[in-house]
Amino acid sequence: MPLQRPLVLAGVLIALILGYAFRSQFSQITFREPIQSPKLAPLPGRNSGGNPAEEITCDGIPLPCIPDPPKNPPPGAAWTPSDDGSSGVTRISENASLLFSHKRFADLDALIGRYATLQYRFDDGRFKLSGIGVFFDQTFGTLANGESIEGLLEPWTAANPSSVGAAIATAAAWRNAAWRARGNGFANTVSPEGWRLFHERLERARTALNASGTYAASNPLWYLEYMQVNLGLDAPLSEQFAIYERGVKAFPEFFPLHMQMIVALLPQWHGSNPAEAAFIDTVTAHSPPALRAETYTRLWWSADQFTDLNVDIFRDMGASWPRMKEGFESLLKAYPNSRWNRSHFASFACVAGDVNTYVRLRAELGDKINPHAFPPNASIDVCDARAAGKTT
């Protein structure tokens, strides 16, 4: 969650005006149906059909790598790896890290390019490209200064001066270095040197993005990174919205762009709870009809992750549980093997007070329920007690 700081907007009236104005501005955007991605070129000896479902290991990259989980686990297996939830993100991130550490830059660029087609998803329906974003932050997020950033990335850029991944990684490294210099405190706790380094490094990140825009904007992560950099630079909402609009026009199905825009509309940044709700309603209304229920659920799910524990999205922000429930049911039909989605469905049912739905999902999941889907103030134990009619 973004670091809290003094509100940019003052007063309830301004917040409400912002919410209305944003709804009015956003309503002018027309979302297209997702573009059919081009068929992937097969890799020699691996995937003769170019079909992700036919690939045996590592989403098409040569061994050695961390292999894809088995599509048909052995009957009765106590545990098998999966590409569901955080485990899938970890596998993608570690695979990219392995390729980078072994200087397999051609394979790394190919993997990032394949994920950028948005044909590859985890078992929960999220894009595997998000694992590359985690790789950027984890691998390059601890570099201290310009010398270490450029030194670590130089072999990659030397191998491919037009590497999309290297360009976005450079910006991510500078962004992380900026926040590290700023520190984790409120604005009034940041030293003058911290502010100077924060802004200098974010400008370096923005420079890297601008310099690579002609080729790196072919990847949705370029827009996501630009929005994160703009957020730190306290760019006006109009600038943030302009990058967001470019991104969703190029990649209408890439819902993480909507989620990043939600961050910019948080009360501790440029927005308010009404602005977030208006944004979610408008994005949902302009989504393809077949995806509206899932879109509504994914966006409120994301908004909930960014709010404080004392904020109830149903009670305080206007989220509709019947609509979220409909979206979760749609997600379960589309991705039936995801216990990540099913566990979060159970968690939200508990928070919304839908005991019958929680009991049903709890029984379906059994001991495979994911405890990380539950917030600290509504743990599995608490939800089980509520379902049993108890309060302790």
Q: Is the pLDDT of residue 78 over 70?
A: no
Q: What is the pLDDT of residue 145?
A: 66
Q: What is the pLDDT of residue 61?
A: 86
**Mean pLDDT, the chain, integer:** 85
Percent of the chain topping pLDDT 90: 71
Confidence of residue 68 (pLDDT cuts 50, 70, 90): confident
- Choose between 97 and 69: higher pLDDT: 97
Q: What is the pLDDT of residues 367-390, one digit of tens each?
A: 999 999 999 999 999 999 999 986
Distance (Å, whole) CA 263 – CA 259? 7
Confidence of residue 9 (pLDDT cuts 50, 70, 90): very low
Angle at 276 between CA 271 and CA 282, to 5 degrees: 130
- Choose between 60 and 111: higher pLDDT: 111
Distance (Å, whole) CA 346 – CA 380? 9
Q: What are phi and psi of 121, to 5 degrees?
A: -130, 155
Angle at 92 between CA 89 and CA 98, to 5 degrees: 135
Classify 35 as helix, strand or coil.
coil
| pTM as predicted | 0.84
- Choose between 6 and 358: higher pLDDT: 358
Q: What is the pLDDT of residue 23?
A: 38
Q: What is the pLDDT of residues 103-148, one digit of tens each?
A: 999 999 999 999 999 999 999 999 999 999 999 999 998 876 667 8
Confidence of residue 80 (pLDDT cuts 50, 70, 90): low
Confidence of residue 268 (pLDDT cuts 50, 70, 90): confident
* Distance of alpha carbon 377 from the chain centroid: 24
DSSP codes joined into one string, 87-147: HHHHHHHHHHHHHHHTT-HHHHHHHHHHHHTT--B-TTS-BTHHHHHHHHHHHHTT--SHH
Omega within 30 of 0 (cis) for the link into 64? yes
What is residue 289's DSSP assignment?
Answer: G
- Choose between 57 and 173: higher pLDDT: 173
| 3-state helix vs strand vs coil in the chain, percent to 5 | 65, 0, 35
Q: What is the pLDDT of residue 93?
A: 95
Show the DSSP H helices in 187-288 as ranges. 192-216, 220-232, 237-250, 256-264, 273-285
Can you tell me the mean pLDDT for 170-190?
Answer: 92
Q: Is the pLDDT of residue 4 over 80?
A: no
Q: What is the pLDDT of residues 23-47, one digit of tens each?
A: 334 444 444 444 333 333 333 333 3
Distance (Å, whole) CA 145 – CA 79? 42
Q: What is the pLDDT of residue 390?
A: 63
Can you tell me the mean pLDDT for 62-73?
Answer: 77
Q: What is the pLDDT of residue 56?
A: 55
Q: What is the pLDDT of residues 192-230, one digit of tens each?
A: 999 999 999 999 999 999 999 999 999 999 999 999 999
Q: What is the pLDDT of residues 321-345, one digit of tens each?
A: 999 999 999 999 999 999 999 999 9
